Chain A
């Protein structure tokens, strides 16, 4: 699976300070660390970029490209910052992201054909995030049809089903899994991408990794093409390279509904099984899900 490094994100205190002070070294350290860890893309998240959007978009892209030649996923809802950054990308970038919202269709989506980028399109519309598989299908069909009308090919579209935190809405976690399974039939040729770590938002920090990694395996099994993820998590990288095959197999068994006897398993394997059951909605989530 293609991994997009998430760690240059404006919500991070280090990043927001570095951006405010235009501290290139701090940003470049994060870029290098993720490149070395094995990221395929680097997500550069500027958030709304209200202040000096053009200058910021350009600065961030240039700063990162000074130390790495990894392709960039440029992440902002501000079209001015987006355009300024896209202009400077040396490799074909990923525009992250557009949606079915009217202002996104009008202001963001046309930048993809203009700069020949690939583009993330989420299931969000002006009505918000669709609550189930059917409404996700409905909204993405509409939005992709609109994008096709602008000359964007399915092959350049990375569909984002929107991942919600398991601690907030367990049902949505399963809905996104289901959606992933049917996506290739709905829109042949499209790719897919998720903001993986969002599944563990709200979960105590030491427990986030196992949720992210388990959900990655589950989504991948249902056909996920790429994830914006914490590439500085070595176990996540290892799993993505096909390592620890017995864990991958166990998670698969849980998804297929096979009986898995956790008593015979080592601690780590048992944790993955418990986590898969929570992510499937088979057991009710609590922050103590690994303890019961």
Chain B
């Protein structure tokens, strides 16, 4: 008799989130399986990879990851196009220069830049603010309004600013990134609050991604549990896809900055680990990792 391996089936499934509109749109989530368990059930969408660009000329980037982009970093439009040529599924634009501790450019200037990128680059776009909750609320609301109807993925929405941000995102037809500090209970709380303003198909969870050697295990555990709670236990408030924003975290470590090959590996191993933990969307910096992780997802590594 032929042996048939027993298969687990689960009651819950991850919501499918669409980022971007028309033929530039990208879908993430939608699976009713644990990470990469393609043999168990439906994986509506394979994990996607965004390459990261910023509006600050890649200030502070390690030379090893700057290398492939060095002639385009002053121009986010060119930089984004280069990332697409290098195989990115989406572009992640980080509005570094809005940081009050840095260049502190005003919200309308940042919003105009995002609008320009949307107009000139044919890609689904993730937009991260600088991480200052007050400034982000202002900047990201302006971005939402300036790009009304473009269905960007915008964040981070945090405990301190989610209300106005979710309002702007809902009003202008975008998706939101719900970010909490590596804590499953706080993560659920923010999701529950956001679900009062937005449907789950417009929310992506960012549990915060730490780099290898800097607490990656914690991120791994939280992502793994999020997926288990959503898929195995069917918890409605935990069924959104997850974004692993890890490139910047990896490339700021001394280990990654020590050399090209080690840097790429540092980012690659972190990415692969968080993929196994359940990330649906990875934000990376080095194009070699974009290629390698895609091969791994397709089972070619």
Contact = CB atoms under 8 A, between A and B. Distances in A.
A121 B15 CA distance: 49
Interface in B177-223: 184-189, 192-193, 195-196
A284 B189 contact: no
B121 interface: no
Interface in A248-267: none
A167 B237 contact: no
A291 interface: yes
B238 interface: yes
A167 B185 CA distance: 7
A284 B195 contact: no
Interface string A264-285: 0000000000000000001111
B193 A288 contact: yes
- Give the dominant DSSP class at A's interface: loop
Name which of A167, A284, A285 has the most chain B CB atoms within 10 A of its CB: A284
Given A292-B236, A292-B237, A284 B188 contact: yes
Contacts of B186: 286-287
A244 B193 CA distance: 31
A288 B229 contact: no
Given A292-B236, A292-B237, A284 B185 contact: yes
B185 A292 contact: no
Nearest to A285: B185
B288 interface: no
Nearest to B234: A283
A187 B176 CA distance: 55
B238 A284 contact: yes
A72 B206 CA distance: 51
Contacts of B187: 286
A81 to B, nearest CB: 37
Given A286-B188, A287-B185, 18 more contacts: A283-B235, A284-B188, A284-B229, A284-B233, A284-B235, A284-B238, A285-B185, A286-B185, A286-B186, A286-B187, A286-B237, A288-B188, A288-B189, A288-B192, A288-B193, A291-B196, A292-B236, A292-B237
Nearest to A288: B192
A286 B235 CA distance: 12
Interface of A: 167, 282-288, 291-292
Contacts of A282: 233
Interface of B: 184-189, 192-193, 195-196, 229, 233, 235-238
Contacts of A285: 185, 188
Nearest to A282: B233
A284 B192 CA distance: 12
B189 A286 contact: yes
Contacts of A283: 233, 235
A167 to B, nearest CB: 6
B120 to A, nearest CB: 41
Contact of B195 (A167, A287, A292): A292
A284 B236 CA distance: 11
A199 to B, nearest CB: 14
Contact of A286 (B192, B196, B236): B192
Which of A282, A283, A286 has the most chain B CB atoms inside 10 A of its CB?
A286
A291 B238 contact: no
Contacts of B188: 284-286, 288
B15 to A, nearest CB: 15
Contacts of B184: 284
Contacts of A286: 185-189, 192, 237
A274 to B, nearest CB: 12
22 contacts: A167-B185, A282-B233, A283-B233, A284-B184, A284-B185, A284-B233, A284-B235, A284-B237, A285-B185, A286-B186, A286-B187, A286-B188, A286-B192, A286-B237, A287-B185, A287-B186, A287-B189, A288-B189, A288-B193, A291-B196, A292-B192, A292-B195
Nearest to B196: A291
Contacts of B195: 292
Contacts of A284: 184-185, 188, 229, 233, 235, 237-238
Contacts of A167: 185
A85 B184 CA distance: 44
Contacts of A291: 192-193, 196
Contacts of B192: 286, 288, 291-292
B247 to A, nearest CB: 29
A292 B234 CA distance: 13
Tell which of B185, B195, B233, B236 has the most Cβ of chain A within 10 Å: B185
A286 B191 CA distance: 10
Nearest to B189: A286
A283 B187 CA distance: 14
Q: Which 8 A-B pairs have the closest CB atoms?
A: A286-B188, A286-B189, A288-B192, A292-B192, A288-B189, A286-B185, A287-B189, A284-B229
A284 B12 CA distance: 14
